[in-house]
């Protein structure tokens, strides 16, 4: 099993022939990690200073640029923050160019979400098991239901000291689902409306979101699975870009410091093959619709 697919693109708008294009689309939607070892995010001389923890407000884990333009989690003077924002914005623009070039049919439905600079070392971070991203998981967030929308992420290791971003990548989504779906608990009647009304969730949690959260928690809680499930360790070296559907690919961030990340949202219907989406996979197994119900 090797869930990493390497391509040798070295530009953010690469020229791509139709065979390679089909390979990239199939890899992404089938739940592989697209790895581009020769696509660095190049910092200007003046921007290298931003690879430091000192620009964090130390309240947030990441420095984030919202799609509406707000910069969150950063600390510095107005001039410094302006330059920092410009750097993160450039990453956002380049990641958008890349996704638009590789997956042109996504463009009309692609929604840009947050862009982040992740300045802290991953290793040694202590947290509850649910928040521990050193354990294999697929992304699902208690307060932020996606309602089936895909989470497409473009990462780049910008570490200036030659250090890799080390991930573990787990088995294919459907293999994990077969093991844990029987244990997944449903919401109680009225729970989704209540949580939304109380502001616990940003929008209504759907039966799909509930299952994805349960899978996230069950997988993270199972130390035997964490140690012994099929998996591979991957070193993403500085200068590497990688693209992944983080709601589909089992991943764990083991170590590394200084990474750029762009999140996109995409409705499952906008995929080349919608049936590969987690919501469609789960609906096929359960035999019922898992989307929004009133």
The residue among 139 and 283 lying less far from Fe ion, judged by its C-beta, is 139
CB of 253 to Fe ion, least distance (A): 7
CB of 146 to Fe ion, least distance (A): 13
Instruction: Lay out the sheet containing 4-6: strands in order across.
Output: 4-6, 33-36, 241-245, 150-157, 259-266, 111-118, 63-65, 71-72
Contact yes or no for 4/30 (Cβ under 8 A): no
Quote the Cα angle for 207-213-216, to 5°: 145
CB of 254 to Fe ion, least distance (A): 12
The residue among 101 and 214 lying less far from Fe ion, judged by its C-beta, is 214
294: burial class by Cβ within 10 Å (0-12, 13-18, 19+)?
A: exposed
Tally of helices (H runs) and strands (E runs) in the chain: 7, 11
The residue among 139 and 217 lying less far from Fe ion, judged by its C-beta, is 139
What whole-number distance in Å separates Cα of residue 80 and Cα of residue 40? Answer: 23
The residue among 186 and 233 lying less far from Fe ion, judged by its C-beta, is 233
State which residue has the least CB distance to Fe ion.
139
* Number of C-beta neighbours around residue 183 at 10 A: 10
Residue 292's contacts (CB-CB under 8 Å, 6 or more residues apart) are 147, 204, 206
DSSP secondary-structure letter at 40?
-
CB of 149 to Fe ion, least distance (A): 16
Give Cα separations from 151 to 111, 129, 143 (angstroms). 10, 22, 15
The residue among 139 and 171 lying less far from Fe ion, judged by its C-beta, is 139
The residue among 261 and 283 lying less far from Fe ion, judged by its C-beta, is 261
Token digits for 282? 């789960």
CB of 216 to Fe ion, least distance (A): 9
The residue among 12 and 173 lying less far from Fe ion, judged by its C-beta, is 173
Give Cα separations from 72 to 23, 65, 76, 152, 252 (angstroms). 37, 6, 12, 21, 24
How far, in whole angstroms, is CA 194 from its chain's centroid?
28
Residues making contact with Fe ion (CB under 5 A): 139
CB of 153 to Fe ion, least distance (A): 8
The residue among 154 and 192 lying less far from Fe ion, judged by its C-beta, is 154
CB of 15 to Fe ion, least distance (A): 32
CB of 246 to Fe ion, least distance (A): 5
Cα Rg for the chain, rounded, in angstroms? 19
């Amino acid at each position: 099993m090797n869930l990493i697919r390497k391509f040798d693109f070295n530009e953010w708008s690469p020229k791509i022939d139709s065979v390679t294009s089909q390979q990239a689309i199939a890899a992404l939607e089938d739940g592989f990690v697209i790895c581009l070892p020769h696509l660095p995010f190049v910092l200007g001389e003046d921007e290298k200073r931003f690879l430091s923890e000192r620009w964090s407000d130390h309240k947030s884990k990441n420095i984030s640029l919202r799609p509406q333009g707000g910069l969150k989690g950063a600390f510095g003077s107005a001039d410094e923050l302006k330059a920092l924002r410009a750097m993160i914005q450039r990453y956002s623009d380049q990641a958008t160019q890349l996704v638009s070039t590789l997956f042109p049919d996504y463009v009309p439905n692609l929604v840009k979400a947050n862009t982040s600079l992740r300045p802290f070392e991953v290793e040694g971070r202590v947290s509850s098991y649910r928040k521990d991203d050193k354990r294999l998981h697929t992304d699902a967030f208690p307060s932020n239901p996606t309602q089936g929308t895909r989470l497409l992420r473009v990462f780049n290791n910008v570490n200036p000291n030659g250090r890799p971003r080390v991930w573990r990548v787990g088995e294919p989504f459907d293999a994990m689902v077969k093991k844990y779906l029987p244990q997944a608990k449903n919401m109680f009647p009225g729970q989704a409306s209540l949580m939304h009304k109380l502001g616990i969730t940003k929008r209504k949690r759907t039966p799909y979101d509930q299952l994805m959260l349960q899978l996230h928690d069950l997988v993270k809680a199972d130390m035997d699975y964490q140690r012994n499930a099929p998996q591979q360790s991957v070193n993403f070296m500085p200068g590497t870009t990688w693209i992944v559907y983080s709601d589909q690919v089992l991943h764990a961030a083991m170590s590394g410091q200084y990474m750029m990340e762009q999140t996109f949202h995409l409705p499952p219907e906008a995929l080349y093959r919608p049936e590969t989406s987690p919501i469609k996979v789960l609906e096929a197994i359960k035999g019922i619709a898992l989307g929004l119900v009133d």
